[in-house]
Amino acid sequence: MAARIRLKKFGSKKRPYYRIVVMDSRAPRDGKTIDELGYYHPIETEDKQIQLNTEKVKTWLSNGATVSDTVHKILNKKSISL
């Protein structure tokens, strides 16, 4: 099983929010998650937009989880090195 850190979509039409989760790379976007790491609200103000548990993120990265392109950009905003 290849673990991947990616976004899981929630919310309604034109008001999305996302959870940053660890999933099997073959699972569908809204499928079963292994672990939840935080959330991302693209609509909110800048200070409330991203919430992450950095310890969990670092643990999953050290265990070999890969990161999607969008989550990679989010982690760069929070200055978490990969």
pLDDT digits over 26-53, tens only? 988 888 999 999 999 988 777 778 899 9
Q: 3-77: which CATH topology?
A: S16 Ribosomal Protein; Chain: A; (3.30.1320)
The stretches of 1-82 forming alpha helices (DSSP H) are 54-62, 69-77
With beta carbons less than 8 A apart as the criterion, state whether 81 and 62 touch.
no
Q: Rg of the Cα trace of the chain?
A: 12
Average confidence (pLDDT) over 6-20: 92
pTM of this prediction?
0.87
Per-domain residue ranges of the chain: 3-77
